[in-house]
Amino acid sequence: MNFLDMLRDASTRNDSMLCVGLDPEPSRFPGAMKGDASKIYDFCAAIVDATHDLVNSFKPQIAYFAAHRAEDQLEKLMEHMRRVAPHVPVILDAKRGDIGSTAEQYAKEAFERYGADAVTLSPFMGFDSITPYLKYEGKGAFLLCRTSNPGGDDLQAQHLADVPGNPAMFEHVAKLAQGPWNTNGQLGLVVGATRPNEIERVRAVAPTMPLLIPGVGAQGGDAVATVKAARIGGGPIIINSSRAILYAGQGDDFAQAAREAAIATRATLQAAARG
């Protein structure tokens, strides 16, 4: 199956819009693991084992591994996810953005070295920075569109006077992704949960695209407003929660605590979808 097929299957099979973000911080690990970067794989694998029947995707953030020279542990984790949850797609959160042979190497890293099903990208350098990823048949790519950080206003909210309709830059990115850039049919967009009104504006331009939505949980995004906005048009929804699930418990039962947090988050999203 291609990435979107996997996403739809996992969403249906697990009745879920939830993505668990794997952002391992050794300083926050429980018990004897605390501060030990050599335990990154062990911690993340336990989270995966506890939650894989509750999610529609996992999203490891590459910086949390690379900062601790733990890329080998990320490779091992990717293999583990393939074994225990082969139906759950894995989105490598790398936010790459470059051109030419460099972009080709980043694509090779994501899809060949790590075996990811999709990757996050910055579209700032234009279409030729994205094409190397689209050459991988069946693989997905999520373009940063409207992020929730305050600095996102610096560029994403600026209006483009030379584009018909004078859209904000994030609306223009969404239109390009929905249209001419989506050459393999596997593109999606990243939009922040803290801006549900702008999720609606993205949906107006890109109603059928998958949306990857971080910000529910520790970042304070409103789950009900997020789901309501993202459901417009019917495109797939991936709502990411990282810290609120990963660090739900600090004892030996941390994985069970993570499972309970994931169950509660999934239930909140399900209720929002029914509302």
Torsion angle of the four alpha carbons 118, 119, 123, 125, in this order, in degrees rounded to the nearest 10: -120
Give DSSP secondary structure letters for 216-257: BSTT-B-HHHHHHHHTTT---EEEEE-HHHHTS--STTHHHH
| CA 6/CA 173 separation, integer angstroms | 25
For residue 44, give every residue at least 6 positions away whose Cβ sits within 8 Å of its Cβ, in sequence order, or none: 22, 24, 60, 73, 77
CA distances in angstroms from 159 to 11, 93, 162, 165, 168, listed in the order given: 35, 27, 9, 9, 4
Residue 65's contacts (CB-CB under 8 Å, 6 or more residues apart) are: 24, 40, 71, 73, 74
Is 135 known to be catalytic? no
Cβ atoms of 41 and 2 closer than 8 Å: no
Q: 19-49 as b/e, with b when 16 or more CB fall inside 10 Å?
A: bbbbbbbbeebbeebeeebebbbebbbbbbb
Q: From the candidates 39, 59, 76, 95, give the one annotated as an active-site residue.
A: 95
Residue 13 neighbours by CB under 8 Å, 6+ apart: 87
Q: Is 195 helix (H, G, I), strand (E, B) or coil?
A: coil
Residue type, 56: N
Provide the annotated active-site residues.
Answer: 95
